[in-house]
Structure 1
Amino acid sequence: MSSFGVPPPDAAVYVISVAAELTGLHPQTLRAYERMGLIRPGRTGGGGRRYSHRDLELLREIADLTSAGIGIEGVRRILELDNQVVALRHRNDELLAELEATRAALRQALTAAGATIPPPNKLPVLRPSHALMTFRRHPG
């Protein structure tokens, strides 16, 4: 729990009736979305469903998409693409951090070797190629 008694976003704390009320959906709709694989609520030891704040946000997103006329398979695809975008952003952040660490290590190695350190965008490993390729259309 956070400092004001609010559970973390992934804590499965809401029973199905509360989740239904908070999302404006019928409990049977929540069960149907689970059967379709659109949502995976947590479970208690006795098998009762427990929804997290993130689950509620996802249910609201599904409801918004379906009310806009998007079918369940379209919703499924949109959610998959959203997940891919999140994963790609995370990977991009990792790669940027790795690039910065590599640049820092290269600067440190150049300094230790007594070399003059070029500006950050002019490091040898990052220099763009100045090759020029031309294409000619063959007559006929």
Structure 2
Amino acid sequence: MKLPMDDEHAALFTVGQVADMLQVRQAFLRRIDDHQVVSPQRSPGGQRRYSRHEVGRIQQVVTMMDEGMTLPAIRRIIELQHELAELTRERDELARRLDALGEGGGPR
């Protein structure tokens, strides 16, 4: 049985918990959500709930801001990282299909 703590995308943490974990202000977390840099899930009551994956992403944002990057630049970097991951998955799937066709003993 898979527990919620085992799922890095399970929304487990409140704004206050994440702020304490990462030593950032709650207003900072709300700001990066408003700028669509890291947007957590919402509880049925509308409160932000963060997953371990999102906490890791926030750590990246803090590091990039410490290096002098703006939130729009950080959002674009994150978008490009996501696009690159998608393209890599597609490439790997196509390579797997080509390998399977080659192993099928088709015409050469």
TM-score computed with the length of structure 1 as normaliser: 0.71
Question: In structure 1, what is the Cα distance between the partners aligned to 2:29 and 2:61?
Answer: 10
Work out the CA distance in 2 between the residues paired with 1:81 and 1:23.
24
- Is there any run of 5+ residues in structure 1 with no aligned partner, and where? 111-123, 125-140
CA drift of 1:42 comes to: 1.0
Count of residue correspondences: 108
Distance 2:47 2:33 in 1: 13
**Larger proportion of helix:** 2
Q: Which residue does 1:13 correspond to in 2?
A: 12
Q: CA RMSD in A?
A: 1.7
Q: For residue 46 of structure 1, give the secondary structure of its aligned residue in structure 2.
A: coil
Cα distance, 1:16 vs. partner?
Answer: 0.7
User: How big is the shift at 1:17?
Assistant: 0.4
Bigger Rg over Cα: 1
Indicate the residue corresponding to 2:27 in structure 1: 28
Decide whether the 8 Å contact of 2:35 with 2:72 is kept in 1.
Answer: no
- The DSSP-based 3-state class of the residue aligned with 1:91 is helix
How far apart are the structure 2 equivalents of 1:20 and 1:44?
17
Which consecutive residues of structure 2, in runs of 5 or more, have no partner in the other structure?
Answer: none
Structure showing greater relative contact order (alpha-carbon pairs closer than 8 Å, 6 or more residues apart)? 2
Partner Cα distance (1:80, 1:53) in 2: 19
For 1:51 and 1:7, locate their aligned partners in 2 and report how far apart those are by CA, in whole Å. 14
* Aligned twin of 2:51: 52
Letter of the 1:51 partner, please give it: Y
**Distance (Å, rounded) in 1 between the aligned partners of 2:45 and 2:5:** 24
**Deviation of the 1:77 alpha carbon:** 1.6
Q: Which runs of 4+ in 1 moved over 4 A?
A: none
Aligned to 1:82: 81
Could you tell me the TM-score, scaled by structure 2's length? Answer: 0.90
> Which residue in 2 is equivalent to 1:121?
none
Q: How does 1:114-133 map to 2 (within 5 A)?
A: 124=108
Aligned mates of 1:77, 1:8 — CA distance in 2? 26
CA–CA separation in structure 2 for the residues paired with 1:79 and 1:43: 21
